Structure 1
Amino acid sequence: MRRSIPVVAATLGLALTLTACSGSADEPADDTSSSAAESTGSFVMWVDETRIDSFKPIAAEFEAETGVKVELVQKISGEIKDDFISQVPTGEGPDVVIGAHDWTGSFVTNGVVAPIELGDKAGEFAESAITAFAYDGQQYGMPYAIENIALIRNNALLADTPATTFDELVAQAQGAGTEFSVLIQQGPDTGDAYHLYPLQTSFGAPIFTQTEDGSYTTDLGLGGAPGDAFAAYLQKLGQQKVLDPQIDGDKAKQAFLDGKAPYIVSGPWYATDFTKANMDIAVLPVPSAGGQESKPFVGVQGAFISAKSKNAVLANEFVTNFLTTEKVQTELYESGGRLPALTASAEKIDDPILQGFNEAGATGAPMPSTPEMNSMWEFWGSTEVQIIGGQAADPAAAWNTMVTNMQGAIDAS
């Protein structure tokens, strides 16, 4: 296992072994662009209040191994992203910031993060975790944890009878004789496109198209025949009462806790409540509805390096060589409860619940980090609710109107 290189009096050798980050967000830095001799023996890292306790022992361990001090600064979760964007250009920001992968688009377009080079190490991580931090063909973050939704089964209501399609799953669930079959949270106004996305992708209708390296383009992928077919399927699920716009997240969770459904599509945030209630549950991939692979959105946590880092070599050593080790990834899982992005760490977790989420999200689709994504939700969820609730007599026409509105928002951005 690759361990971090000790730094004693900051030798030039460190710079020659690392891929230093540049002061530009356009290209990875050349190894000769800075040297460890220029470093101060410390660097600054911002972490919000939800992650600070997990990173305190990690920072201490790095200092013990290398002699380099990590100056942790706690920031407010709702402000850390915007503060980073505003302070980096002034030279007052940190060298490293810990955050979510869907910040990547905003960070890159504002020129505040430097690309990083993971090389062969990229193959040691879940594919979805790596592609989550890809933007315009380059890598901008090092993943350490992932989370996604999956199918959760109440084993007390239904035996282990795997379904190969979502229709088979619904039929099984209806045979359990419960009030609901498969709970998928929605909401009367804005719906919940996030929880329906595994079904949508199984029709080959992703929100945006992706390049070969996994980066998202701004070309919508949910139109045409695949989108029409998914819209028709939503109407069908609404007519079958599988989907109900009135069942939001809280209602779906409570119904499952009360034993009113054998299945729910949700994430580890609800699974924790189910296990605390001593429910016997299993976590499975969401079966395909449209014939293609069902891909949930994947959220990834990771580390970014500032484009204006004053200690780029040391920051890069911490991010690409230290945080990528199995020991550190496992420690972050144990303290934070999120599934490790590193495959070796994830595979050694003996918690069947987290293993189930890992399998369900292994080939998932990272949440798009493009700035255009922010304006997609308002059209997306509300249209799905109209189709599910029967307000849209022609589901394809409603879906195509939604796509047109989405394209208009992209063109106006």
Structure 2
Amino acid sequence: MRIRTAGVAAVAALALAAAGCGSGSDKPAASNSPKAATGKLVIWADDKRTAALKPFAEKFGQENGVTVQVQAVSKDLQTNFVTAAQQGGGPDVVVGAHDWIGNLVQNGAIDPVQLTADQKSGFNPTAVKAVTFNGQLYGVPYATENLALIRNTDLAPEAPKTVEDLVSAGKKLQSEKKASEILCLQVGQNGDAYHIYPFYSSAGGYLFGTAANGDYDPKDLGVGKPESIAAFKKIATLGEKGAGALKRSISDANSISTFTAKKCAFLVSGPWAISDAKKAGIKYDISPVPGFAGGKEAQPFVGVQAFYVAAKGKNKALAQEFVTNYVTTPDLAVALYQAEPRPPALTAAFDQVKGSDPDLEKFAQAGKNGQVLPAIPAMAAIWDPFGKAESAVIAGQDPARTVTAAGNTIAKQIK
């Protein structure tokens, strides 16, 4: 989930012209969608998903007698989508992370989607939960993702049971000059709440409590409370003035490449890191992120990638047809998996690819006790202050003072 860094948006359109009304495919044209022969369906996605979507978008266009245009938005997709929606433009369908939902709903940028009970039952239940907001389904999930511990088995044959075991193994490799870093977990100058969360949760910290219905409660902010201070004190022991396992010099730009260069035996990352490990010829294995000795089980965030229907789209009925009856097919889910190997949310697609990819089940095991990444609007207030507090504590700043200040900043933003 390298999705937290903003950049200048680069939008490159791929126009997929449709050819006539009937395509002779095995799926008939949808009877409940308008024959919008004069319109077009516009889809925004990132570069990799744009390529995977192309043949399916073309097929959909042929079957519905419309032009389908897929546009690749390389950077800052969410912000560009909200801005376009507020200006009355933008796509009919957008592809993105589930934790966008609170912000998108708050800005009136997406509509609920309608899946039948039978369609819902075909998905990973956690994925369905992730795209449900205020009791309504706002997206059609296609992939899940969570962090795990990826290790170089040449350097570390056994999976560490605890964080302390990991640090001990990493230090031994350093002393033997087989590795220069104990752990590759991205921190950077501004921290990274997503990647540190397994350690934070193991040490007893939390972001938001939950309401009676199980939804995250923005009124119960955990950052700044005693549990979070205790958690950051544990994290500090791993920092630059402690064990040296967590460093600001390891960032989103180099954490994976440092691992693939065999400079560290352990990498905390997600499915997106595996293709780089394979290209580098690294012998690797995947296991759950370990927790602190005597602490709670480490819980990574579980994220979901999904398709959304734009509230300001010009062809909303056609967009609903696309996300409910095309995105729910195994063929498209498998194609998206092949574009970037994240575990498919559609059970039939997961079952189809797991035999050829044992990593899928290992990531699923690593995330089975994970927490759904909060999608409430208040989550937007967490990232920057929490991350900067993490970076400061890892640099050696006082955990209690630093985390209390971060909690105050977050609380003011939520109000």
- What TM-score results when the alignment is normalised by the length of structure 1? 0.79
The gaps in structure 2 that reach 5 residues or longer are: 1-24
The Cα of 1:156 is off from its aligned counterpart by 0.4
Which residue matches 1:227? 228
Q: Larger helix proportion, structure 1 or 2?
A: 1
Which residue matches 2:198? 198
**Does the CA contact (< 8 Å) of 2:186 and 2:250 recur in 1?**
yes
Of 100, 109, 125 in structure 2, the residue corresponding to residue 112 of structure 1 is 109
The Cα of 1:324 is off from its aligned counterpart by 1.4
Aligned mates of 1:170, 1:63 — CA distance in 2 = 54
1:267 aligns with 2:282: no
Relative to structure 2, which stretch is displaced further, 168-177 or 314-323?
168-177
Aligned mates of 1:72, 1:179 — CA distance in 2 = 47
Aligned mates of 2:328, 2:82 — CA distance in 1 = 25
Which residue matches 1:98? 95
In the alignment, residue 277 of structure 2 is paired with which amino acid? F
In the alignment of these two chains, the number of paired residues is 378
Moved over 6 A (4+): none
The gaps in structure 1 that reach 5 residues or longer are: 15-35
Of 26, 37, 40 in structure 1, the residue corresponding to residue 36 of structure 2 is 40
1:404 aligns with 2:408: yes
Measured against aligned partners, the alpha-carbon deviations of 1:324-367 in whole angstroms (never above 9, x if no partner) come to: 12222112212344432223322433223444334323443344
**Does the CA contact (< 8 Å) of 1:131 and 1:215 recur in 2?**
no
The Cα of 1:281 is off from its aligned counterpart by 0.8
Of 376, 383, 393 in structure 1, the residue corresponding to residue 382 of structure 2 is 376
Instruction: Give the secondary structure class of the aligned counterpart of 1:233.
Output: helix
Measured against aligned partners, the alpha-carbon deviations of 1:69-116 in whole angstroms (never above 9, x if no partner) come to: 462242534475455445556765543222332332222112232112
Which residue matches 2:365? 359
**Does the CA contact (< 8 Å) of 2:302 and 2:372 recur in 1?**
yes
Sequence identity (%): 35
CA distance change for structure 1 residues 112 and 191 in 2, over 3 Å: closer, same or farther? Answer: closer
In the alignment, residue 132 of structure 2 is paired with which amino acid? A
Which residue matches 1:387? 393
Relative to structure 2, which stretch is displaced further, 145-154 or 214-223?
214-223
Which residue matches 1:184? 185
Aligned mates of 1:201, 1:62 — CA distance in 2 = 44
- What TM-score results when the alignment is normalised by the length of structure 2? 0.78
**Does the CA contact (< 8 Å) of 1:180 and 1:242 recur in 2?**
yes
**Does the CA contact (< 8 Å) of 1:198 and 1:295 recur in 2?**
yes
Instruction: Give the secondary structure class of the aligned counterpart of 1:184.
Output: coil
* Superposition map of 1:177-326 within 5 A: 177=176, 178-187=179-188, 189-211=189-211, 215-219=215-219, 220-238=221-239, 239-289=242-292, 291-308=295-312, 311-326=315-330
The Cα of 1:309 is off from its aligned counterpart by 5.1
CA distance change for structure 1 residues 90 and 382 in 2, over 3 Å: closer, same or farther? Answer: closer
Instruction: Give the secondary structure class of the aligned counterpart of 2:142.
Output: strand
Aligned mates of 2:76, 2:269 — CA distance in 1 = 27
**Does the CA contact (< 8 Å) of 1:59 and 1:70 recur in 2?**
no
Aligned mates of 2:295, 2:26 — CA distance in 1 = 46
Which residue matches 1:27? none
CA distance change for structure 1 residues 186 and 69 in 2, over 3 Å: closer, same or farther? Answer: same
Aligned mates of 1:105, 1:313 — CA distance in 2 = 23
The Cα of 1:376 is off from its aligned counterpart by 2.4
